[in-house]
Structure 1
Amino acid sequence: MRSIETIYEKLLADFARRAGFTPEAGCDLAVRLWAAAAELQALEIQADWVLDQSFPQTAQGVYLDRHGAMRGLKRLGATRSGGTLRFSVGAPPVMDVTIPAGTVCMTAEEVRVRTSEEAVIPAGALYADAPAEAVEAGTGGNVVPGAVRFLTACPTAVTAVTNPGAFTGGAGEEDDETFRARILESYRRLPNGANTAWYETTAMSYPGVTAAKAVGRAEGPGTVNVYVTGENGLPDGELLAGLQAELQEKREIAVTVKALAPTSKTVNVAVAVTPKEGADKEAVLESARRAMADFFGGRLLGRAVLLAELGNRLYDLEGVENYRFTAPAEDIPADSTVLPVLGTLEVTELMEEA
């Protein structure tokens, strides 16, 4: 990009060549030439920006969305994390205790989660589990096991709540680089109405689908299995039924297509982290827990779990000096039919040897 000074000197030289004299610095004409040089630089900047937005390799924001629309692709919106809440009573009740759907509980950091279905603690039992989701979409709802501890408006008999497993699947709106990669992939794997790319693109356009992987000849010639995930990971029956109808209507002639949930593969994560000198140890460990939980979700369908990628997430955190994984012991290879899900998560302080 040319500087204003460079453009001004060029205008000055051109004027002198045509007029036969060079204007004095600070005169009215010199000021006018300087102003023209500034406007020309602004036009060059604008032209470069327009050129960047004209190609998916360099477009940003809403202009990248328009490139995606030309390929039949939409940016993935923010998703809520999902998990399970366990409600407990101090003593076995003599009557069933009902926990309504929509019951809100919180973590110490005031992350709110709510039950998505009604749950019942049977008479004589001490607890009941209920599926739940974060109130707010985004990565903030990804909480580690045991983080949810505060009740809001539960039945009086309920005395405690916790989450036995992590809440995962919460993600922010798809960023430019991730969306750009999908757009460019649509050019490399052109959907033609018959290949796996077409089935994946069709599935991704269905509301509620977060990721899709198509496997051709899955059950022999003329068969295609389309594995999908929803916002909270594994899809529910309603999503699969709706997508099945959609694919059935649009499929090729003489092809059997199935919309299926992937097989879940539990991944236990155990890592020791060394905080930098002077850093808040507990804050660093909590950031590390959140970074590990954020990695898992429906968008991980068909992807590998690489220790290097998990490690990079830790190194990107402020205050992390070093780390050491004890689980998983090795990389987990990619499989189009498998969704890696977070199992146990243990983040401790790594004590460096003297």
Structure 2
Amino acid sequence: MKSVDEIYQELLDAFAQRAGFVPENTCDLAVRLYAAAAQIQALNIQAEWVLDQSFPQTARGMYLDRHAAMRGLSRLPASKAAGTLRFSVDSPPALSVGIPAGTVCMTADERRFQTTGGVTLEVGKTYVDAPAEALEAGSGGNAVAGAVRFLTACPVAVTACVNPAAFSGGSDAEDDETLRERILESYRRLPNGANAAWYEQTAMSHDGVAAARAVGRARGIGTVDVYIAGESGLPGAALLEEVREDLRERREIAVDVEVKAPATVPVNVSAAIAVREGADFGEVKAQAELAVSNLFTGRMLGRPVLLAELGNRLYGLEGVENYRFSAPAEDLAADGTVLPVLGTLTVTELEA
């Protein structure tokens, strides 16, 4: 890209060839030529930007979305983390206590979660569990067990809340690079109404499907099994039926299509981390647990679990100086019918 000064000098040279003299730098004509040079450079920048947005390899944002739409694809939206909130009392109540849907609790850093259904703490009980989700979509809604412990509006008689298990399944909207890879893959594997790419792309067009894998001849000639996963992991029965009905209606003639939930393989992760001088191990540990948990979403369907990827997530955290894995001992190979899920997660301090 030429600078303004380079363009200005070219304008001066062209003027001098035709007029027979070079204007003084302080004259009105020179100022006009410099202003024209600045506008020409701006047009060059705009033309280069337009060229970038014209191809999926370089387009960004809404322009990349338009390339995706031409391939029948769309950007995966952000999803909310889901989990369970446990409400407890100091002593068993004499009367049942209702906890309505929409009751909000939060973490120490003010990430908020709300119950998605009303529950009742029965007489004689000291706690009750309620289904809940993050108030806002995105990976920031994922939280390790025990992180949610503050009531914002305390229900009558309830004295404490906590999440006994991690909130998971929260993910940010698909970023440009991931969407770009899917678009380019749709060119490399052209869907033709009969191949695996078509079945996978059709399944992915349904809201709630985070990943899909098609297996041909799964049950013999003329059969196709399509495995799907939701953002938080295994798909619900309603989503399975929705995709199944769609594919059966649009399938090839005489092809038997089944839509299935994948098998799950728990992956136990045990890591020791060394923190940088001045960093608090407790805070870094919480970040490390969250970073590892965020990897295991439904988008892992058919993908390998790589130690290098797990290590990058840890080493990229502020405060982590070094790490060492004792589990898993090796990479987990990819299998289109299998969804890796997080089993036990242990993060300890690496001894010097």
TM-score by length of 1: 0.91
For residues 216 and 125 of structure 1, do their structure 2 counterparts lie closer, same or farther at Cα, with a shift above 3 Å needed?
A: farther
| Structure 2 counterpart of 1:70 | 70
CA RMSD of aligned residues (A): 2.2
Counterpart residue type for residue 290 of structure 1: L
- SS of the equivalent of 1:178 reads helix
For residues 332 and 99 of structure 1, do their structure 2 counterparts lie closer, same or farther at Cα, with a shift above 3 Å needed?
A: farther
User: How many pairs were matched up?
Assistant: 352
Counterpart residue type for residue 134 of structure 2: A
| Structure 1 counterpart of 2:321 | 321
| Structure 2 counterpart of 1:206 | 206
1:246-293 deviation digits (Å, cap 9, x = unpaired):
111111111111121111222222222222223344332232222112
Structure 1 distance, partners of 2:99, 2:334, is 39
| Structure 2 counterpart of 1:295 | 295
- Written as runs of structure 1 = structure 2, the 5 A alignment for 1:9-88 is 9-88=9-88
Structure 1 distance, partners of 2:110, 2:31, is 59
| Structure 2 counterpart of 1:180 | 180
Give the superposition deviation at 1:101. 4.1
For residues 328 and 92 of structure 1, do their structure 2 counterparts lie closer, same or farther at Cα, with a shift above 3 Å needed?
A: farther
Structure 1 distance, partners of 2:267, 2:89, is 31
Structure 1 distance, partners of 2:306, 2:5, is 50
| Structure 2 counterpart of 1:189 | 189
| Structure 1 counterpart of 2:267 | 267
- Written as runs of structure 1 = structure 2, the 5 A alignment for 1:131-210 is 131-152=131-152, 156=156, 158-210=158-210
1:6-55 deviation digits (Å, cap 9, x = unpaired):
11111111111122111122222211111111111111101100000000
| Structure 1 counterpart of 2:2 | 2
Structure 2 distance, partners of 1:85, 1:266, is 23
Structure 1 distance, partners of 2:182, 2:318, is 29
Structure 2 distance, partners of 1:210, 1:71, is 17
Structure 1 distance, partners of 2:17, 2:346, is 75
Worse-matched range after superposition: 80-89 or 292-301 = 80-89
5+ long unaligned stretches in structure 1:
none
Worse-matched range after superposition: 66-75 or 225-234 = 225-234
Counterpart residue type for residue 282 of structure 2: E
1:191-229 deviation digits (Å, cap 9, x = unpaired):
000011101111111122111111111111111111112
Give the superposition deviation at 1:231. 3.1
Give the superposition deviation at 1:129. 4.0
Contact 2:96 2:123 (C-alpha < 8 Å) held by counterparts = yes
For residues 161 and 80 of structure 1, do their structure 2 counterparts lie closer, same or farther at Cα, with a shift above 3 Å needed?
A: same
Contact 2:81 2:171 (C-alpha < 8 Å) held by counterparts = yes
- SS of the equivalent of 2:292 reads helix
Structure 2 distance, partners of 1:278, 1:351, is 16
For residues 336 and 118 of structure 1, do their structure 2 counterparts lie closer, same or farther at Cα, with a shift above 3 Å needed?
A: farther
| Structure 2 counterpart of 1:229 | 229
Worse-matched range after superposition: 79-88 or 197-206 = 79-88
Counterpart residue type for residue 150 of structure 2: F
Instruction: Give the percent of matched residue pairs that are identical in Structure 1 and Structure 2.
Output: 66
For residues 83 and 332 of structure 1, do their structure 2 counterparts lie closer, same or farther at Cα, with a shift above 3 Å needed?
A: farther
- SS of the equivalent of 2:269 reads strand
Contact 1:81 1:231 (C-alpha < 8 Å) held by counterparts = no
Contact 2:248 2:257 (C-alpha < 8 Å) held by counterparts = yes
Counterpart residue type for residue 30 of structure 2: A
Structure 2 distance, partners of 1:21, 1:293, is 71
Structure 2 distance, partners of 1:303, 1:316, is 21
Give the superposition deviation at 1:128. 4.6
| Structure 2 counterpart of 1:309 | 309
Contact 1:104 1:115 (C-alpha < 8 Å) held by counterparts = yes
Worse-matched range after superposition: 275-284 or 288-297 = 275-284
For residues 336 and 94 of structure 1, do their structure 2 counterparts lie closer, same or farther at Cα, with a shift above 3 Å needed?
A: farther
Structure 1 distance, partners of 2:245, 2:93, is 45
Contact 2:97 2:156 (C-alpha < 8 Å) held by counterparts = no
Counterpart residue type for residue 184 of structure 2: L
Counterpart residue type for residue 3 of structure 1: S
Contact 2:213 2:228 (C-alpha < 8 Å) held by counterparts = yes
Counterpart residue type for residue 75 of structure 1: R
Give the superposition deviation at 1:322. 0.8
Counterpart residue type for residue 254 of structure 2: A
| Structure 1 counterpart of 2:250 | 250
| Structure 2 counterpart of 1:284 | 284
Counterpart residue type for residue 316 of structure 1: G
Contact 2:117 2:130 (C-alpha < 8 Å) held by counterparts = yes
Give the superposition deviation at 1:349. 2.4
Structure 2 distance, partners of 1:349, 1:14, is 70
TM-score by length of 2: 0.92
- SS of the equivalent of 2:198 reads helix
Contact 2:144 2:286 (C-alpha < 8 Å) held by counterparts = no
Counterpart residue type for residue 10 of structure 2: K
